[in-house]
Structure 1
Amino acid sequence: MNIYRSVRAVTGASGTGIVDWDAVAEAAKASTPPGDLTLSEEERLGYKTDVQDARERLRTVGEVEFDLPDVVEVQNRHHWIDANVATFERVMQPLEEKGTGVFPGIARVANTGTMAFMLSFLGKNVLGQYDPLLLAEGDDDHGLYFVHPNITKVAESLDVDYPRFRRWIAFHEVSHAAEFGAAPWLSDYLEERMEEGIDALSEGGLDRTAFRELDTAMTAVEGYAELLMDRAFDDDYTDLRRKLDARRRGGGPMATLVRRLLGLGLKRRQYERGAKFFEAVADARGVAAASKVWEHPDNLPTDDELDHPERWMRRVA
């Protein structure tokens, strides 16, 4: 880890955009140890088996048809940062096209530093990721990533069995693959609302409808993944859930502030609210009924229905 190189990359941010993305990648990686990616043959087979078993279990339990992405990678932290710099660059493009403001150099340095700090923090904490490659051009396939150094580090810090913890993470990420695989329309739906919201911001406005619909859809995405993972995982996970939740809430005041600034508290609320909705549906009608949410965009729950699942069941299930 080289803090000096990270600071130098940020302060040297250049170009014509509001963010110097090359400097973001350099600064984030300079302040983040890549972590060991040396895998034994047993570990390689373990990742492969975990993902394949998750696919079969999730297909059966959720009664959904989907395939795994062609891109399934075991990464170190730098690999993850590079992949997500590309994602954020795509998302920020509409704002980039609007120009840099009155003090472009100062704004560029501040924006570059903010993005680098965010990606560095996340890169040290993300365990796995299903990447639908939103706003990507062409026919690039979705990706499934596992950040191996973080998985081994967290398993050790939580004092849990590493292969069992790794398998649990695999089930969660493959649950997202099940959603996007069962709902080919979902990527376009999310992209449209992201574009509407970002376009409004770039014009100095706020499209509340677009952001509300995006939040509702992401609550469904996170909640369904929680339901499917919990119902399909082939081992007891009570201790894993309890210890990981405690870790997310811990870390001291600085970590709490950073999580709040990055919106990770919002994501947690999406998990909890969505999971409560789908648990109610599954308990009343079965997991297959909950899976109907992915048959058509109109089947997504409304914001009101998330808190009143019986209304969604009357309408859809």
Structure 2
Amino acid sequence: MSANDDSGADRPGFGDNSEGDFEELQRILRDMLSGSGDAGAGGFDPQRFAQSAGIPMDPQALQGLFSSLQGAMQNPSDKIDWSIARKTAIEVASEHAKSADSEPAMRAFPVAALWLDEATELGPTPDAPRTLSRIEWVQQSIDTWVGLAEPVAESITAALMHALESQMPEEMSGALQGATPMLRSVGGALFAVQLGTIVGRLSGEVVGAGDIGIPLLSGAGHEGGALLPGGVAAFAEGLDQDPETVTLYLAIRELAHARLFRHSKWLRLHLLTAIGDYARGIHIDTDRIEELVRDLDPEHPEQIQEALSNGALIPPKTPAQEAAHARLETMLALIDGWVDVVTADAAKRIPGADAVAEMVRRRRATGGPAEHAFAALAGLELRPRRLREAAALWRLVGDRSDVATRDGLWAHPDLLPTSEEIDHPARLLERLGLAGSDGTPAEDDFDAALAQLLEGGLPPHRADDRDGGGGGSADDAGDADRRDD
């Protein structure tokens, strides 16, 4: 008997007929998902498999994972069942959810709205601001997260199937053809579980509905801004500031973000469309997947999680994607820069506001663990790398003209500053008719003013508003921004 003869053709259920192969493959998957394998004898270890999926190791989470994967195996579909992501996110958010007092936030909202009326021409939203628990934030934001991740999930699932087809022994090809819908469903379910885990963990990091720069909540009653009291309390713990002060500052920032997106009705769709276009342009490195399938050690299923979590399956950006990413970062920087400037003007009465602002910018520039995990999973970072420069530009426009001119630029996407204008503010001022008296931009004066603002920390209070409180020290936050550039 040759080696080839012993390779599997004579084993019952493999190579005899495609129906037997398919039944055997089903049996193997069913044994895996039952969690009954003998890990000590080299069999399936459910805990290590759960670790490879990036989910918590408690028994309830394991049961939920295997139940989801079993359902995907028994009811295969060409579409990913995203209800698994919703269920997982709620379960993860519930694990460490603690009740937090919502009264400080509710007291801060009216004051924040009153001060914002003085700092911006953009009026309040018709929806009242509110507080959310971690679970409520997950329930109301998960659809947006699914929309961001779905294009990448489809690409990864298709690439995995292609890799399996190319690596599967010839005698198993019939079984694979019959099992393709089932395997696709299981792979999609695993991706959905990972996304749900990331969103659930992110619920413990965010402080408000606009915390990551894009409006995750939409629809009637959801556009007025929201704070998560638990997240606010956790953020305040790391600051040498009165918790009420921190809450008020974050309330101002949240309501400023809500006003911007409510006033510029085109902005949310414009931003999410740009993100979707970028995500759909992501191509999965099929060669890397084939290499992973070929070299995967069944004893170390965490290799799968490592490949997903470090973004190894997503190849470097194409030139077109680089350009799309640059446009997206510019838009995110303009949004956060405007919010920073308006918040600074509205919060000038708050003692220690500059210190809180510095920590917010530092936190926004570096991101949290769950945000990094989503960046690796979907190949997309949602952090503004040019925040300081964009904030300086908004400040210059306001100082050279007035608040109405500054805020009026949000009326249409064609009016917004371009990337080149962020780099050279004099060009924007010239476009707006705010250049020198002779109609030409005073480059040296503008560059000097910009450099002075950057050196002094951003966003500084306007000269006529300062009360001797100082400009704060944002150099460290600026350093964090530059390290990310």
TM-score (norm 1): 0.79
Instruction: Name the SS for the 2:130 alignment partner.
Output: strand
The alignment yields a C-alpha RMSD, in angstroms, of 3.8
Q: 1:289 aligns with which of 405, 411, 428?
A: 405
Deviations 1:119-139, CA, capped at 9 Å, x for gaps = 1331111001137458x7x86
Counterpart residue identity of residue 60, structure 2: R
Partner Cα separation in structure 2 for residue 143 and residue 34 of structure 1:
27
1:125 alignment counterpart: 205
Q: 1:170 aligns with which of 216, 236, 251?
A: 251
Partner Cα separation in structure 2 for residue 292 and residue 251 of structure 1:
30
1:315 alignment counterpart: 431
Partner Cα separation in structure 1 for residue 122 and residue 363 of structure 2:
34
Relative to 1, partners in 2 of residues 1:287 and 1:241: Cα closer, same or farther, differing over 3 Å? same
2:198–2:370 Cα contact (<8 Å) kept: no
1:18–1:107 Cα contact (<8 Å) kept: no
Relative to 1, partners in 2 of residues 1:277 and 1:241: Cα closer, same or farther, differing over 3 Å? same
1:193–1:214 Cα contact (<8 Å) kept: yes
Name the larger-Rg structure.
2
Residue range with higher mean Cα deviation, 141-150 or 168-177 = 141-150
Question: How many angstroms does 1:202 deviate by?
Answer: 8.2
2:387 alignment counterpart: 271
Question: How many angstroms does 1:266 deviate by?
Answer: 5.5
2:350 alignment counterpart: 235
Deviations 1:158-210, CA, capped at 9 Å, x for gaps = 24211111111111111112212332222332244344334444899975354
Partner Cα separation in structure 2 for residue 217 and residue 257 of structure 1:
20
2:232 alignment counterpart: 151
Partner Cα separation in structure 2 for residue 108 and residue 163 of structure 1:
44
- Amino-acid identity (%): 22
1:24 alignment counterpart: 85
Deviations 1:264-291, CA, capped at 9 Å, x for gaps = 9761524334223323333443444322
Question: How many angstroms does 1:247 deviate by?
Answer: 6.1
Question: How many angstroms does 1:104 deviate by?
Answer: 1.3
- 5+ residue gaps, structure 1, are none
2:209–2:216 Cα contact (<8 Å) kept: no
Q: How does 1:183-198 map to 2 (within 5 A)?
A: 183-198=264-279
Partner Cα separation in structure 1 for residue 397 and residue 255 of structure 2:
21
TM-score (norm 2): 0.54
1:56 alignment counterpart: 114
Instruction: Name the SS for the 1:267 alignment partner.
Output: coil
Relative to 1, partners in 2 of residues 1:70 and 1:192: Cα closer, same or farther, differing over 3 Å? same
Higher relative contact order (CA 8 A, sep 6+): 1
Relative to 1, partners in 2 of residues 1:27 and 1:5: Cα closer, same or farther, differing over 3 Å? farther
2:19 alignment counterpart: none
Relative to 1, partners in 2 of residues 1:121 and 1:141: Cα closer, same or farther, differing over 3 Å? closer
Give the number of equivalent residue pairs. 309
Partner Cα separation in structure 1 for residue 117 and residue 87 of structure 2:
40
1:85 alignment counterpart: 142
- Quick check: 1:37 aligned with 2:95? no
1:4 alignment counterpart: 59
Partner Cα separation in structure 1 for residue 253 and residue 333 of structure 2:
15
- 5+ residue gaps, structure 2, are 1-55, 162-182, 286-316, 435-485
